[in-house]
Amino acid sequence: MNTVQLAVRNVERKRARLLVTAGAMGLAGAFVIFFTCLLDGFYGTMVGNVVDNECAHLQAHAPGWRADPDLYNVIKADPRALDAAGLAWAPRLSAFGLAAKGEASAGIEMRGIDCAREPRVSKLNTRLLLGAWLDPADPHGVVLGRRLAEKLAARPGDELVLLSQAADGSTANELVKVRGVLMTVSGRTDEAALLVTEGFFRDFFQLPQGWHEVAVRLPGDAPDLEAGRRALQKALPGAEVLTWKELLPDMASIADMEKGVSFVFMTIAYLAVGMVVFNAMLMGVFERIREFGIMKALGVGPGRVAAVIAVEALLEAGLASLLAGALGLALAVLLHRHPLDLRGMLSSSATVSGMAFDPVIGALITPQAVLRPLAFLFVLSMAAVAYPAYRAATLDPLAAINHR
Amino acid sequence: MKFLPILALALGLCPAAHADAPPSQSDPRAVALLAKVDDLWRGDASHTVMTMRVKTAHYERTLKLEAWTKGKYRTLVDILAPAKDAGTITLKNNESIYTYLPRTDRTIKLNAGMMGGSWMGSHFTNDDLVKGSRLSEDYISVVSFEGQRGGRDVLELTLWPRPTAAVVWGKIVSVIDAATDMPIQSTYYDEDLKLVRRMDFGAIKDFGQRKAPSTLKLIPADLPGEWTELDYETMQLDSAIPDDTFSLARLKRRGP
């Protein structure tokens, strides 16, 4: 009888122990798989919100513009070169001014939006609390940030006066109508953003060409930001290109911290699983000391005894993996299809580091999130069985047979 | 008129040699000179027509302005030309600034955040219009130099803000012609005593009731090659100007 047959028979003889051990390991593994998918989903939701709201994955500006947002400091290169690189991009314009409604007035950051391209890089056009999005057919219709609308007591349909200084030094002023009000997006947008169409912006500021910002969205859930940066720099030579992590370092820190928390939590979870496996293996050896003593008395060598125990552990780990994979994946799929909606628990829009966070958390299922815990179960089983196998292999046959 | 001194008195120049500690009290001679400078363009009321030329890295423009002032805190400036800006009126009433925009036929009040912004595309800020300070009252002043410069006798006054004064400058240095008591140049420093801008006064003109420099050239320190120049064409002091000239209701009218 070979080693594997011996191990299979041993396992079959102790079905109750097998079910308890593999069940405990499987449940622990399922929990790890589910929690990994949940944390990945939370992280993905957070990053997705940042990218979707307005930031996009990458932004290009003329050098120095971010430190000093000068109306004249524009990207002169034609961003249509990005089409050749296959990137989704949208150009933006930005300048400061004043908006007034009756006696109320507030400083604004007027942003000129390319209505056709903006939805390719952000979901800003869907983040409306009131009214409607910009429409190039209604150039005097504007969309306000939430806090700005509150400061001006402005609602869709209200009339505003805009005042600033045009590029030629003249006084830029115009009457506009509020088309929509954004829901919470980010601190900066909420406080001061007044969105207009590109055409209106250029007429208002007498700025016939150039862009202050080119936003790029990369394909996929976890895009290669550095490759995107290189493509953007190649298409817009001389422009300063920043990733969302550089644009929003606080948010990136939170995301990194979440990864750290996830690592610590997973380490604890794996250690707990390791204890379960180790305990099961140790007990499995100790309760069979006489059995191993007889095997050795019959001439079975220490190496084969250890191998039998190792194969038993592998069989248990295999069964546990099947259970962990099936249960963990089922729970993750359930959360993926029915995300946790925490909006009811929050009084208003949640924000993380000033950025709006839509608190609907689903699971993100990736091969890595499922296979890594399963692989770890096997590794853990082998590690946990090492000591019991050594004990069994080095038993004195006579003492083992007389063991009580 | 008040519009001119508000702009003029907001500016100055100071060499590094004067970066000493502020004195505790003013030199009476300096105070008397500053009072004279303060009153050069001031009367109970004034009516002025001037040209403003602006040169920046991005544009050059010329505006014709008509201005009325009354008391210390009321100013109305009407843009006469160019056509694009004509009819735009700025009203300063105490600490508030309103702008009437003929294109939209609306009047809006500038908020605090706009006070540091450019006035009509020039290097003057809205804040320059609001501040109605008198140098002789709001600053501790001393004569920091007396002698010849550029072939003429001058007095250099160094001004330090009084602790209780609501002023924006950390220090002002004014150079005054000793023979005529007319200002020649002022330089303005921020709270860190960093040079911010310079104002050159020139072309002494007899406006009938008094003589005063008719050109003021504002040169920002951080924008090489840029300047704003005011050229006073006419100035009538103490003319009868109705109070309601400075009312919001009258903003839509061009002038009083």
pLDDT tens for each residue of A12-39: 887 887 888 888 888 888 988 898 888 8
Residue A330 is predicted with a pLDDT of 94
A19 touches chain B (CB under 8 A): no
Residue A299 is predicted with a pLDDT of 85
Residue B168 is predicted with a pLDDT of 84
Pick B59's closest partner by Cβ from A100, A169, A173. A169
CATH number at residue B71: 2.50.20.10
**pLDDT at A132 exceeding the cut of 60:** yes
Average pLDDT, chain A: 88
Residue A384 is predicted with a pLDDT of 82
Query: Under 8 Å CB-to-CB from B107, ≥6 apart: which residues?
Result: B98, B99, B100, B101, B248, B251, B252
Over residues A217-239, mean pLDDT: 90
Provide the 8-state DSSP code for A56: -
Query: When comparing pLDDT for B91 and A273, which is higher?
Result: B91
CA distance B215 to B195: 22
Query: Under 8 Å CB-to-CB from A375, ≥6 apart: which residues?
Result: none
Q: Which residues of B touch A103 (CB under 8 A)?
A: 109
CA distance B219 to B204: 19
B108 touches chain A (CB under 8 A): yes
How close, in Å, is residue B110 to chain A by CA atoms? 7
Chain A interface test: which of B60, B78, B106 (most A C-beta within 10 Å): B106
How close, in Å, is residue A175 to chain B by CA atoms? 6
Tell me the one-letter amino acid at A300.
Answer: V
Please report whether residue B16 resides in a domain: yes
CA distances from B239 to A209, B39, B43, B46, B246 (A): 49, 15, 9, 6, 15
Asked if residue A156 lies in contact with residue A129, where contact means CB atoms within 8 angstroms, the answer is: no
* pLDDT bucket at A253, cuts 50 / 70 / 90: confident
CA distance B144 to A14: 103
Query: Under 8 Å CB-to-CB from B237, ≥6 apart: which residues?
Result: B1, B42, B43, B45, B46, B207, B209, B210
DSSP string, A76-125: -S-TTHHHHTT-EEEEEEEEEEEEEETTEEEEEEEEEE-TTTHHHH--GG
Q: Which domain holds residue B92?
A: 3-235
Q: Which residues of A touch B56 (CB under 8 A)?
A: 169
Tokens 């100055």 identify what position? B12
Residue B1 is predicted with a pLDDT of 40
Residue B13 is predicted with a pLDDT of 35
How close, in Å, is residue B243 to chain A by CA atoms? 22
Kindly state the percentage of chain A with pLDDT values over 90: 45
Provide the 8-state DSSP code for A137: T
CA distance A292 to A313: 16
Query: When comparing pLDDT for B12 and A199, which is higher?
Result: A199
| DSSP helix/strand/coil, A324 | helix
CA distance A133 to A124: 9
* pLDDT bucket at A350, cuts 50 / 70 / 90: low
Please report whether residue B244 resides in a domain: no
Q: Which residues of A touch B108 (CB under 8 A)?
A: 98, 100, 105, 161, 163
Subunit contact A167:B58, Cβ cutoff 8 A = yes
Query: When comparing pLDDT for B53 and A11, which is higher?
Result: B53
Q: How remote is the C-alpha of A30 from its chain's centroid?
A: 21
Question: Among A41-50, A182-191, B60-69, whose mean pLDDT is lowest?
Answer: A41-50
* pLDDT bucket at B156, cuts 50 / 70 / 90: very high
Least Cα distance to A43 among A392, A385, A363, A370 occurs for A363
A209 touches chain B (CB under 8 A): no
HSE toward the beta carbon, residue B29, CA cutoff 13 A: 12
| DSSP helix/strand/coil, B15 | coil
Q: How many domains does chain B have?
A: 1
Over residues A134-158, mean pLDDT: 96
CA distance A40 to A23: 25
Query: Under 8 Å CB-to-CB from A63, ≥6 apart: which residues?
Result: A238, A239, A240
Q: Per DSSP, which regions of A139-186 are E strands?
A: 141-144, 159-165, 171-182
Asked if residue A346 lies in contact with residue A242, where contact means CB atoms within 8 angstroms, the answer is: no
Least Cα distance to A156 among A175, A174, A169, A143 occurs for A143
**pLDDT at B6 exceeding the cut of 60:** no
| DSSP helix/strand/coil, B178 | coil
User: Which two tokens mark A331?
Assistant: 């729970």
How close, in Å, is residue B39 to chain A by CA atoms? 32
A161 touches chain B (CB under 8 A): yes
Give B105-139 pLDDT, tens digit per residue. 999 888 777 777 888 999 998 878 766 667 888 89
Question: Among A145-154, A351-360, A369-378, B195-204, whose mean pLDDT is lowest?
Answer: A351-360
Kindly state the percentage of chain B with pLDDT values over 70: 88
User: Which two tokens mark A69?
Assistant: 């947002």
A170 touches chain B (CB under 8 A): yes
Residue A20 is predicted with a pLDDT of 83
Give A291-344 pLDDT, tens digit per residue. 888 888 888 888 888 888 888 888 888 999 999 999 999 999 999 898 887 776
Residue B155 is predicted with a pLDDT of 95
